Structure formats: structure tokens, C-alpha cells
Amino acid sequence: MNTRRHWDLFCTVIDNHGDLGVCWRLARQLAQAGQSVRLWVDDASALAWMAPDALRNSLQDIQVLPWAEASEPELLARLPAADIWIEAFGCTVPEAFVTHAAATRKQQPAWINLEYLSAESWVPRMHGLPSPVMSGPAKGWTKHFFYPGFTPDTGGLLREANLMSRQQSFDRAAWRQRHAPGPAPGALLISLFCYEPTVLPHLLTQLAGTPHHLLVTPGRPLAAVQQVLSQLPVETMSPLWSALPYTDQDGFDEMLWSCDLNFVRGEDSLVRALWAGQPFVWHIYPQEDNAHHAKLEAFLDWLKAPQSLREFHRVWNGIEDAALPSLHEATLNEWGDCVMSASQRLLAQDDLLSQLITHSATTYAAP
């Protein structure tokens, strides 16, 4: 991992909290490992709050470049050739970029197709498989599929080298006092980062009248909560809640570490919730063909989720039409034990960054 290489990381933004979040974490960890990274992205606006230093060019070894510039011949002629290309989440390297590389390089870079995260059984079979390029300027070159995952026969998960030490030295009580000073001692502190679950009204009315404080993250979660509350009858008791500001990625981790229960969504925050070791509920990204149902069940199987956690996930994700299970202390303790056990299993496995570096070293060819 001490060999310095140059990486081109390509990202097109669909959900700026997810795909860009993962790519920025990867870019930052590569730089921390002594690598040089160019992050090509079509919409970097979310980095203004997710990673403020990124757009101020104050981070060494990381360049954030507009996607459109990857097709400008004059710029490409000035840039040093990268040793590794990563296409994140199904995006495609711009054709002009490939054409320039094919015309100026003697050999191809290590070319990695970094896929979405899944616990489904087919992932280990697909991980690492070659994908020959059959046409176009890069004909004869080969890409490799790289699948993140939860088991040792996959690509693993992103995990900073200092993550556990940061978490152990974190002052949880001070964070809670700053962000939720109102609840009585023993009240349940809950973070909410979700899409628009149809059972959100049920959750909010379920919390009302119980000792709790709901911390709502900005964007879609805040808009969803405000809409639900505006439609509740006047006589309905409302939950105790407050809105959080946008925060950088380290701040998001601290929120997960501080809360007794975390509602998370998508891919990046799922992984962070696992590392946090606190009880959590995952709102999986919904797909029109309901392919996310099988993906969720596969994850719950890997997690060894107790029945109450399975039921809550199915209702929260709209798979089952039922009432949300109650959030009793014994239930949350059972969920927490489950998550901690899963986190310990993951800590015993190689992380995504180290596996990417090892893979690229074995397939790297000098330009």
C-alpha cells in the first residue's frame, strides 16, 4: 500500500448523499493511503457541505474535476496518465477520455467497475470477474467487476484506518447535550435519514407521548416530516423533534454514534450505521420492479436479524402492510446486540480500500 499510484475515479450523481458520498470517502481514504486521486463528477455541489475542504482545493492528493472536462482534448493532453480507472455505480468513462488514452498509452490502466453493495448470493460469484472490451477505441482492453460486500469473498466495505479509535475517543454525552439538550434523562434519541416511507405518520404518532427526541436530517427527511405533521389533526399529539443542519461526513458519523436508534437510507449511511454499532433501520433505495425486496431480505439474512427487526424493516420499506412494531427497550437491546455482532464480523475482514489497492497492483500496467 506504500506504492504511490494515480487514480481516476468517475462518478455521476443520482443520489448525492449516496454515490458521491461513497466516492468521496474512497477518494479521501486513497489520499490518506498515499495515493493520488482525480475525482471526475457531474455535480459536485453536495461536497460544499459533505466535504467543505474538497472544493477549496485544500486537500492534498485529491483533485475534484468537472465531468465535462474529461472530454476536453487540451486538458487531457496536459494531465498525467492514471494507473487505475474506477467507474463507480454503473457510470461509463467518457468516450473522449477513453479515445485519448487508447491513442497515447502503450498499455491499459487497471480498469475497475465498482458496483453497488448487496448481500445477495450471486455477489461473490461475480466479484473480480473480467469484462473484456469488445468494441470501440479500447477494444482488447479488460475491465474487472469489483463488488463491495459483507463477506470475505467479496470486496469488503470502506473503513478508515482510524475509525475505531475515533469512535472510542468520541464524547457522546457532549454531542447529545449540544444537539438535543431538551429530553429528560433516559429519553430515546433517534436520528432520521430516510426517503418518504408511507408509514412515517405511524412512526411519528407512535413516538408521541413516549420519552424520546427525534433528530431529523435536512433535505428529503425534513420535508417528509414537515408534510406529515402539517396533515395531522390539531388534537393529535406531536413527537418531540428538531431539525439538524447539513454536516460533513465525520459529523454524520458522530450523529450515528450518539443516537440510541438510527434510521438510515441508501448505501453509504448503511455502512456507517454498521460501523456505529447502534440499533438501526435501513430504508433501502426503492426500485420499480421491487428488486430491492430480495436485496433487503438478503441483507437481513446476513445480519442475522431477529424477527422484530425483520418485521420493522419490511413495514418501513413497504413490503408488508402492517403496524410498525413498538420500540421497547428490550427490543432495541436485541437489535443493538445484533448490529454489534455484525460489526465485529466485518472488522475481522479486509476493507474495500486495501482490496482495491491489492487488486490494482496485480492488474496494473505502466502507461
- Active-site residues, by number, are 19, 267
Element (H or E) spanning 84, and its range?
A: strand 84-88
Other CB atoms within a 10 A radius of the CB of residue 44 amount to: 22
**Longest CA pairwise span in the chain (Å):** 73
Contact predicate 260/267, CB 8 Å: no
- The CA distance from 357 to 7, in Å, is 10
- The CA distance from 334 to 134, in Å, is 51
As a dihedral over the C-alpha atoms of residue 182, residue 184, residue 187, residue 192, rounded to 10 degrees, the angle is 0
**Kindly report the CA angle at 328 between 205 and 322, in degrees rounded to 5?**
55
In this structure, the chain runs to a length of 367
- The CA distance from 159 to 15, in Å, is 21
The label of the residue with cell 433501520 reads: 281
- The CA distance from 270 to 268, in Å, is 5
Residues in CB range of 330: below 8 A, 6 or more apart? none
SS (H, E, C) 36-53: EEEEEECCCCCHHHHCHH
The C-alpha cell that represents 25 in the structure block: 470517502
Element (H or E) spanning 222, and its range?
A: helix 220-231
Read off the amino acid at residue 366.
Answer: A
The label of the residue with cell 487514480 reads: 7
- The CA distance from 267 to 113, in Å, is 17
- The CA distance from 263 to 270, in Å, is 9
Residues in CB range of 254: below 8 A, 6 or more apart? 170, 175
